[in-house]
């Protein structure tokens, strides 16, 4: 579909603040070996008759061994969470009926990307043909959160305000310490594989206005750089079809509780950025180089390291990220009734828990088997040990 920038502005003009949509990607697995299995088309087609509601809310991703569930537009955060919980339950029951297990980490530990078939859609054929190895190599799983923002100008400026927050959200969500059959000595190998490889991906520049952002997109269109807006893969972007700010930085989360907690944190950050914008709070625009330093720290160390305080020019322990974000977002959270959970209360994030298993002597397959069990149990299911 051609990109209509005038229509995009109209979509934002009609949007309503703080609607919420959630998107989660799962790996499709053999329940005994935990190998990736190309079963997306089978599960999708079976759902059409077995569970039409689920069928309407599942989508394909790049590879046939991946499936995404989308909440659709919730009236608010609580509505979106309720929708997504229902979809997760339906998905896990549906997959179990068809002898498929589900993985919820940012990467699969040992799958060979060269053996993964891509789904056959016009969009993904274009992605693979256009990006070659970069696309084929991207066997990753993530979580995206959409928040409604009225007015395209506000949406662009909210994205600008979220730029320095993105590495902090990434560190909290880190859940992919392995790739290519090895522990990568990273906490989010997904980010290194996807975000650092795809074009128009990662932390965008600060555009300052809708007109500046429009000029950028228009240039991409005129030069044949993109033919679909979804070829702009920035880790935060104004979404033209939904009238939302979409946060795309995070790894898929291992458990239902972690997914819900991360959604609450992201919605609180977007809502506070909106409030700061509406209140006219000055916006300091940190350089991309400093934000990229924090991106690397999040990729490499997750919540185990230190992050740069871009205002003070010092460092702080990554364990303070959630308390700091909680303090910043306190005004809107009080109004919206959003409580935040520090990952330390759950024994750390997914990457930390997996690193501890590896340090205790578990091999990579055993560590991943444990994550699959944790994921299933958090959704009220069991898979073979």
Domain ranges across the chain:
5-378
pLDDT of residue 120: 82
> Span 5-378: which CATH code?
3.30.590.20
Look up the pTM and report it. 0.96
Return the CA Rg of the chain: 20
pLDDT tens by residue, 65-96: 999 999 999 999 999 999 999 999 999 999 99
Q: How confident is the model at residue 382 (pLDDT cuts 50, 70, 90)?
A: low
pLDDT tens by residue, 265-303: 999 999 999 999 999 999 988 999 999 999 999 999 999
Residue 19 DSSP code: -
For the chain, count helices (H), then strands (E): 15, 13
Question: How does the average pLDDT of the chain come out, rounded?
Answer: 95
In whole angstroms, what is the distance from residue 119 CA to residue 180 CA? 21
Location of structure tokens 């051609």:
2
Pairing relation of β-strands 201-202 and 233-234?
A: parallel
Q: Reply yes or no on whether the pLDDT at 162 is more than 80.
A: yes
């Amino acid at each position: 579909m051609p990109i209509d920038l005038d229509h995009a502005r109209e979509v934002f003009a009609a949007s309503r603040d703080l609607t919420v949509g959630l998107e989660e990607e799962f790996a499709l697995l053999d329940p005994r070996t935990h190998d990736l299995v190309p079963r997306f088309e089978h599960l999708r087609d079976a759902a059409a008759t077995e569970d039409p509601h689920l069928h309407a809310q599942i989508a394909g991703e790049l590879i046939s061994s991946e499936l995404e569930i989308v909440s659709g537009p919730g009236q608010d955060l609580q509505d979106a969470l309720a929708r997504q919980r229902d979809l997760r339950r339906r998905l896990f029951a549906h997959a179990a009926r068809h002898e498929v297990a589900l993985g919820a980490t940012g990467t699969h530990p040992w799958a060979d990307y060269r053996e993964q078939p891509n789904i056959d859609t016009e969009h993904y054929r274009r992605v693979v043909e256009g990006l070659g190895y970069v696309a084929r190599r991207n066997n990753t799983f993530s979580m995206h959160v959409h928040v409604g923002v009225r007015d395209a100008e506000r949406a662009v400026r909210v994205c600008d305000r979220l730029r320095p927050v993105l590495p902090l959200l990434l560190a909290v969500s880190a859940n992919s310490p392995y790739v290519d059959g090895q522990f990568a000595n990273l906490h989010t190998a997904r980010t290194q594989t996807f975000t650092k490889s795809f074009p128009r991906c990662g932390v965008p520049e600060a555009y300052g206005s809708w007109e500046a952002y429009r000029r950028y997109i228009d240039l991409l269109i005129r030069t044949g750089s993109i033919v679909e807006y979804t070829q702009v893969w920035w880790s935060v972007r104004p979404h033209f079809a939904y009238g939302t700010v979409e946060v795309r930085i995070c790894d898929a989360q291992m458990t239902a509780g972690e997914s819900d907690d991360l959604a609450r944190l992201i919605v609180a950050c977007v809502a506070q950025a909106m409030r700061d914008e509406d209140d006219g709070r000055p916006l300091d625009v940190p350089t991309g180089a400093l934000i990229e330093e924090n991106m690397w720290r999040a990729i490499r160390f997750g919540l185990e390291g230190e992050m740069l305080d871009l205002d003070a020019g010092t460092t702080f322990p990554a364990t303070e990220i959630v308390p700091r974000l909680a303090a910043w977002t306190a005004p809107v959270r009080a109004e919206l009734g959003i409580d935040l959970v520090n990952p330390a209360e759950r024994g750390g994030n997914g990457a930390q828990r997996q690193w501890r298993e590896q340090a205790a002597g578990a091999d990579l397959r055993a560590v991943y088997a444990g994550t699959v069990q944790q994921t299933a149990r958090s959704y009220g299911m069991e898979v073979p040990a």
